[in-house]
Amino acid sequence: MKSPSFRCLLAIVFLTAVAAFPCAVLAQVQQGRCQSCHSDPAFTSGFSMSVHGYLSCGACHRGIDDIRLHSSGEKKSDPVRCASCHSTIAEKYKTDVHAVSQNMACTDCHQKIHVLTHSDKPKEISVQEKCVRCHAPDDYAMAGHGRAVAAGNPDTATCTDCHSLHAVAGMAGVSEKEQAALREAYTQRCKACHADPGVAERNNLSTAIADTYDQTYHGKVLQVGYAQRVAGCADCHTGHNTLPSEDPASAMHPENLYAACKTCHPTMHQRFVSFEAHPGAVKGRTYLALHIAEIFMIGLLVGVFAFFWLHTLLWWWRAYLDKCRRRKAGFIEDSLALECREEKQIQRFTVTQRVMHVLLILSFFTLVMTGFPIKYSETAWAKVLVNLWGGPHMAGLFHRIAALVLCALFLYTLWLSIRFLFPKWRFRGWLGRLFGPDSLFPNLKDLQDIKGMFLWFFGRGPMPKLDRWTYWEKFDFLAVFWGMTAIGLSGFMLWFPGPFSYIVPGWVINIATIVHSEEAFLAAVFIFTVHFFNNHIVPNKFPLEPNIFTGRYRLDQMREERPLEYERMVAVGKLDSLKREGPGLWSQLFASVFGLGSLVLGIILLVLIFWAVLFY
């Protein structure tokens, strides 16, 4: 026995069929009347088999109220409006480049509308065949993706995968901001497939294609939201011609690559084409020089931080252990506040040296705050910092200005070093000056001090007596010579890749990228950890050692921290000539505000850097 609900369903189907039957009959009658004049097979047998065959002629050709006037040609039907049925598609098509720029109608693509049927071919091939009616088939259909579509590869991209179907965007005539949005959208579509492990494995590709783009300057600037400043995937790979680089017709073929690069870099030499845009992404290719550079820089980072972080931790532990013992014994600790003292102090730094250090701090912080947002472009804080500078273009401008200031300081320091070794161009005795107590060049005493410090760390001896310059200060000084050579030269290569391509091959620019990035990380993290601790956070100086800003420190401080220098100055009778009045209020205020501000800013930047390293 049938259920009531089933009987209701049958009744609904029956009534619908009955209601539709007259409509179908009327449609057939109307078609018969129209076909009495419009007897072309496209309007007779062809139309009835088409996708619109269930409609009457009047469903599209409206406005024919008087058949006599229409037959005589006096009254034509209203223009056909596909949007009356396909409203959603029509709304999208209003923004389509074909409608906006080319004034194309639906029938320009959906031709022979009266006999239009569903294609037996896969949708990808059917769509591609429509597009290449106007767009040169050699540009897409026979190059890369199009060839793979025709071969039946289900993973490959067809026209609509990149351009959409009825809302195709155009690059010509749009604003720079809109172009940037399109460039970013197309690049993300490329990465969506090329970063997919499944697609990569099935097609013998490498997901490193997408990963390595994100690590280039182009990819990083795009990630912080300024795609108008850089090249996306389609800018180099020409969008449609995605043939393998070994194919002579490929835009990436060595014979064609130079012309492609010169589109944006007109000063490039031919040898620049050896630059690896996706190092590590091409299977079977060896990147020996880049691997050696990476291994060297990683070894340098590990070696420097392993020694100095251990040195810092042991020093902190030993210093606080001694501090706790003094407190337990009843000694009164000095106040943390800076004091205006009446007694004479010792001149340690000249005005010139203090000004140089302030310029060094300002330029260094500018370099970190403009360079590291690009290095860690995937982080949220990177976009904030870049926007604060006014975008990557302005950040790059400030970065280069700060770099030039730092280079000028380096060259001036180099000049002062030469003058120290050869005063008045006197060469005699230069070796004694090089290894003497006033020199920042390492000597045997430094090795003895290192050994003595580690013995003191573990309670095996007293803290060694130090002279004017300590071994960690000498390391800071000499590291500048290596660091400025490495980071400065690599920076100029990245700043002027065109002129440098006349001197070195393109793959050297790849090495410059590695060296510049890793050396910047080494410099920033070393300054914000080791240098800050040694000079400011060490327990007997916390929270700030102001002498680099005031230029002076107390006599008792000199006796305690640099006893050998004190004894030497007393022995030669120079101590009195170094005595000065204590720093005034404004000098101490500047030291406190600028010095503590720099410390706080450095620690904040250190947290952001470690956040990027650990979580991105």
Q: What is the per-residue pLDDT across 426-441, written as a single tens digit (0 to 9) for each?
A: 999 999 999 999 999 9
Neighbouring residues of 584: CB distance < 8 A, sequence distance ≥ 6: 340
pLDDT tens digit sequence for 556-614: 889 999 999 999 999 999 998 888 888 888 989 999 999 999 999 999 999 999 999 99
Residue 166 and residue 93 in contact, taking contact as beta carbons nearer than 8 Å: yes
Question: Between 141 and 541, where is the model more confident?
Answer: 541
How far is the C-alpha of 294 from the C-alpha of 472, rounded, in Å?
26
Residue 428, CA distances (Å) to 16, 137, 405, 423, 572 in order: 114, 79, 34, 10, 22
Half-sphere exposure of 46 (CA within 13 A, CB side): 11
Residue 43, CA distances (Å) to 35, 63, 114, 559 in order: 7, 19, 6, 109
The confidence score (pLDDT) of residue 23 equals 47
Closest alpha carbon to 189 in 150, 233, 255: 233
Sheet strand arrangement including 552-554:
552-554, 345-347, 579-580
- Global pTM? 0.82
Which SS3 state, helix, strand or coil, does residue 346 take?
A: strand
How far is the C-alpha of 356 from the C-alpha of 482, rounded, in Å?
19
Tokens of residue 29, six digits: 């009658």
Mean of pLDDT values over 332-337: 50
pLDDT band, residue 336 (cuts 50/70/90): very low
Closest alpha carbon to 597 in 536, 521, 550, 510: 536
How far is the C-alpha of 369 from the C-alpha of 478, rounded, in Å?
24
| C-beta atoms surrounding 392 within 10 Å | 24
pLDDT tens digit sequence for 191-221: 888 889 999 888 888 888 888 888 888 989 9
> Kind and range of the H or E element at 552?
strand 552-554
How far is the C-alpha of 93 from the C-alpha of 167, rounded, in Å?
5
> Kind and range of the H or E element at 372?
helix 351-375
Half-sphere exposure of 211 (CA within 13 A, CB side): 12
